[in-house]
Every structure is written in structure tokens, then in C-alpha cells.
Amino acid sequence: MRLKDKVAIITGAGSGIGQASAIIFAREGAKVCVADYNIKGAEETAQKINEEMSAKGGSASRGKKVAFAFKVDVSKEDQVDNMVKTTVEQFGTVDILVNNAGINEFIPFPLVQPDDVKKIMDVNFMGAFLCIKAVLPIMTEKMYGKVVNVTSIMSVIAGKGQAAYNASKGALKMLTQSMSVDLGCYGINVNAVGPGMTRTTLTKQLFSNQDMVKWFEEKIPLGRLGNPEDIAPAILFLASDEARYITGETIFVDGGMIATR
């Protein structure tokens, strides 16, 4: 019960890494706002959590939900503010924010248009920025908070056709470091997890090509692609008080791929 009585907001929690994180957070005692633009996925995640907790005899079995779904476009400030407001109304506060929502498009740089860059930056970077700003008054008032940004190994490794995505994740990695300097005096830890090649909705098309899968597996020391369940425990660790003296860091969970570069 490493997150007992804690309240977390996890964006992009309707599938993949966000979903796996929401589930493990609830198992460790947290109440969770399952936020996603894909409301169907968010509702399925929240339902799965509440059913599991109810079966285990948790608070959901006593008529209190452990998780609720919320539809949000993290690039829209009013929607983000409403997400935080609703979480406080449901659970009383916010202790943990996991910025996991993200998008990508594979476009060779000569073909990239300004709108393509803006779209990706608005979600991957500005979305995290807006979410952090929205929870900041709550966390600074109680002098406690955990922020975990989900970046990528692509924040430090360039990928073909991913200029905008690389830039957005690199910016988020540096935002993590900068915020840790500014917010440490408020008792707020700001860290990041950088997943490697992981099977998620975002990479489904890429990994439908078995030759591509084989190519990546040969470059990963552990010899396989990652799964969301491989990434979520690192997010959990940084969101817990076990990581109370860690801030401004990025933990890469990549099967050792960066070590080969």
C-alpha cells in the first residue's frame, strides 16, 4: 500500500502505460482520476479498477469508487482545469500527477509542416505544462506533491521521421529538470520516466511489422520489446515516498537500448 490515501491524476490512462499505471496505483492504495481523450478507454480502465477493488473488499465494495473516468484534451486549459476541479470534488485533493498523454506522427522532416509540430507540442509538452500549472496551487499549499512526466528514450535519441516528437519529449525532459529546481522548496518532487520501445496504442502500427520488431529486438540487450506493465512500476516508484529524495531525474526503462548507443 505504497500510495495509501493518496489521490492521483493520470492522463492518457485509457490504454497502454497510463492504464497499467492507473491499475497498479489503485492496487497500492491510491484513488485515481483516469483521464483520457478516449473516454471509452478511460471508462473501461476505471471500471476494471473499481471491480477489482470491490472484489478485494476495498472502498469500492462499500459504495465508494476508487477510480473515475474523465474526458480531457490536455492541450485545452479549461478542460485541464475542470479535470483538476472534478478530482478535488470527488476525492478531496491531488497528491500525484502523471503526465502520460501523448501523440506521435511519423513524418520525414522535409515534409513536416508547422501545424504538425504545433499539434504534437500542444499535447506532449504544453499538455503536461498545463496539467502541472493546474495542480500547483493544491500542492504548494500543502507543501507536498509528486509529478511524474512520461518522456521517452526519444528525448535523447533521434528517430527518423520523428523530429517533432523528439523535440517535444526533449522539451518535457528539460521541463522536468527545470521544475524540480523551482518546486523543490515546496516539497514537490518532479521526475520523469523514459520508456523504450514499448507495445502501446501509439506504437501498434509500427510493431505490426514483424521485421521491424526483430530489428528492435536485436538492438535491445534484454532481447524483447517492452510492455506497459514493464513501465508502470517505475512510475509508481517515483510517485511514492520511497523516491522522496529523488527529483529532476529521468529513469529510462528501455531494456538497455540506450546503453548500446
Place of cell 516539497: 187
The mean predicted confidence, pLDDT, of the chain is: 94
Specify the DSSP element, H or E, that contains 253. strand 250-253
pLDDT tens figures, 12-58: 999 999 999 999 999 999 999 999 999 999 999 999 999 999 998 75
The pLDDT score that the predictor gives to residue 58 is 58
Dist CA 59 CA 155 (whole Å): 39
Structure confidence by residue, pLDDT tens digits, 60-70: 545 689 999 99
Sign of the dihedral through C-alpha 28, 247, 85, 140: positive
Q: How far is CA 201 from CA 15, 35, 258, in A?
A: 7, 16, 22
pLDDT band at 205 (very low <50, low <70, confident <90, very high): confident
Output the DSSP codes for 39-100: HHHHHHHHHHHHHHHHHTT-GGGGT--SEEEEE--TT-HHHHHHHHHHHHHHHS---EEEE-
The pLDDT of residue 204 is 73
What pLDDT does 223 receive? 95
Mean pLDDT of 239-257: 97
Residues serving a catalytic function are 165
The model carries a pTM of: 0.94
Summarised one tens digit per residue, pLDDT across range 70-122 is 999 999 999 999 999 999 999 999 999 999 999 988 888 999 999 999 999 99
What pLDDT does 60 receive? 54
Count the Cβ atoms, other than its own, within 10 Å of residue 111.
8
C-alpha to C-alpha distance for 178 and 181, rounded to whole angstroms: 5
Residue 153 region, left (φ>0) first, then alpha (ψ -120 to 50), else beta?
alpha
> Would you say residue 202 has pLDDT above 80?
no
Structural domains in the chain, sorted by start: 7-199+228-255 (3.40.50.720)
Q: Are 47 and 53 in contact (CB under 8 A)?
A: no
Region 4-9 average pLDDT: 97
- Answer positive or negative: Cα dihedral of 149, 152, 158, 164: negative
DSSP state, residue 198: B
Q: Report which of 33, 15, 36 is spatially closest to residue 25, judged by C-alpha positions.
A: 33
